[in-house]
Amino acid sequence: MSLYRTQVKIVADVLSAAMDNGTNEGVGITHLLRRANLSYARMVRILNDLVGSGLLETVEQERGNRYRTSDRGLQFLTAYGRFQDFAKSFGLRL
Amino acid sequence: MAAEFLTMYLLEEYLAIVGAAIGFVIAYVSYRGYTQTHSPTLLRLGAAFLLLGISYSFTGFHGLAANGLLPNFAILVGTFAVLAYSLETAGYFFLAFSHMLNVKGLKRGSFVPLVVFSPGAIAAGLKSLSFYFLLYGVTETLLSYVRTRNRGTLVIAAGLAMLATGEFMRWIGFFYGPASDLVLLSVFVKVVGLSTLVVPIMKFMWLGRAMTDVVV
């Protein structure tokens, strides 16, 4: 019996993937697509939402936009990890 | 005998108030989690324990009032009892519902809980539904433990199983009279079951993970 990946989990995956670089340059959309395993159309929609809500920041470069996790995004990931453990205790997933 | 009977009954009422406190704490932590992550799972968990908390409060205060320890509002007592059972059933439903939404292939008819109404009184029907939802919650929590091997999940499954057992023993106890040893044993089993539900909260606090205000 397989399990759905919830929207919250997808957001956490995208934010984690955007931290991969470890520098302030951010990562490209191709990297995000590969790591978060999403279609291009869906990824664009999610990126717009995340940038709009301040969880991701865009880094403008000559070859197109790159994305990095904002401080708010980092706080989200911290809270996500904490409450994931809590939910897991009840046999649930966020 | 009468004093022993009263003490045992009061023990159950006090247990209900302790259960209410535990329910409210879990609901609060779940709600904080919802505000920080916007996870619908946490919202449902919070709703489940909020309803259970209110239900246990009603049960506890209704019992204390019925035993003359609180101002007796006789007219409302019956209404309160049915309301408490309804809220309890709704709480257990939300708990079971949280698991149901996590299972892919539900539409293909994998393991959908059946809704069985007892032809008897409303309260008895609600109690049997509560027991059913609890059993479903136990099954899904155990399945989750098999998948994740998380010890905390096993503790919660054991707690829910003890709550279900306590409810079942309480129901059986009616046939042997309200002062039977079975009723006392059911109270003890429910106390232990409720206490185990606090474990994730304690872990949450003891790990020094203060609840910060992150609003997404």
**Is a pLDDT exceeding 60 seen at residue B112?**
no
Answer yes or no: is A11 within a domain: yes
Whether the CB-CB separation of A58 and A51 falls below 8 Å is answered with yes
pLDDT of residue A64: 79
Class of residue B40 by CB neighbours under 10 A (exposed 0-12, middle 13-18, buried 19+): middle
**Is a pLDDT exceeding 60 seen at residue B118?**
no
Answer yes or no: is A35 within a domain: yes
Answer yes or no: is A57 within a domain: yes
Report yes or no: A94 at the B interface, CB cutoff 8 Å: yes
pLDDT of residue A48: 93
Answer yes or no: is A2 within a domain: no
pLDDT of residue B216: 42
pLDDT of residue B109: 45
pLDDT of residue B150: 84
**Is a pLDDT exceeding 70 seen at residue A77?**
yes
Beta bridge partners of A65: A60
Pure H helices in chain B:
2-37, 40-66, 74-101, 122-148, 151-173, 181-196, 199-206
| Candidate from B30-34, B39-43, B77-81 with smallest mean pLDDT | B77-81
Residues of A in Cβ contact (< 8 Å) with B144 = 88, 91-92
**Is a pLDDT exceeding 50 seen at residue A22?**
yes
**Is the Cβ pair A87, B102 closer than 8 Å?**
no
- The pLDDT of B32-48, averaged and rounded, is 90
Residue A55, token pair as written in the block: 């969880």
Q: Which domain holds residue A67?
A: 7-89
**Is the Cβ pair B39, A83 closer than 8 Å?**
yes
Report yes or no: A52 at the B interface, CB cutoff 8 Å: no
Answer yes or no: is A48 within a domain: yes
Percent of chain A topping pLDDT 90: 46
Answer yes or no: is A1 within a domain: no
pLDDT-based confidence at residue B182 (cuts at 50, 70, 90): confident
pLDDT of residue B163: 86
Residue B131, token pair as written in the block: 């027991």
**Is the Cβ pair A87, B41 closer than 8 Å?**
yes
**Is the Cβ pair A91, B156 closer than 8 Å?**
yes
**Is the Cβ pair A91, B39 closer than 8 Å?**
no
| Selected residue of A89, A93, A94 to mutate for chain B interface (largest B Cβ count, 10 A) | A89
pTM (predicted TM-score): 0.77
**Is a pLDDT exceeding 80 seen at residue B43?**
yes
Residue of B nearest to A88 (CA): B153
Residues of A in Cβ contact (< 8 Å) with B212 = 75, 78-79
| Candidate from A24-38, A62-76, B37-51, B86-100 with smallest mean pLDDT | B86-100
pLDDT of residue A46: 93
**Is a pLDDT exceeding 60 seen at residue A85?**
yes
pLDDT of residue B214: 43
Percent of chain B topping pLDDT 70: 65
CATH number of the domain to which A14 belongs: 1.10.10.10
* Shortest distance, CA A83 to any CA of chain B (angstroms): 6
Report yes or no: A80 at the B interface, CB cutoff 8 Å: yes
- The pLDDT of B70-94, averaged and rounded, is 69
Overall number of domains in chain A? 1
pLDDT-based confidence at residue A45 (cuts at 50, 70, 90): very high
pLDDT of residue B106: 46
Percent of chain A topping pLDDT 70: 91
**Is a pLDDT exceeding 70 seen at residue B8?**
no
pLDDT of residue B114: 47
| Nearest neighbour of A3 by CB, restricted to B102, B150, B203 | B102
* Shortest distance, CA B176 to any CA of chain A (angstroms): 34
Provide the greatest CA pair distance for chain B.
Answer: 58
- Backbone region of residue B212 per phi and psi (left: phi > 0; alpha: psi in -120 to 50; beta: other values): beta
Cα–Cα distance between B144 and B157 in angstroms, integer?
Answer: 9
pLDDT of residue B193: 85
| Selected residue of A5, A46, A90 to mutate for chain B interface (largest B Cβ count, 10 A) | A90
Return the SS3 of A27.
Answer: strand
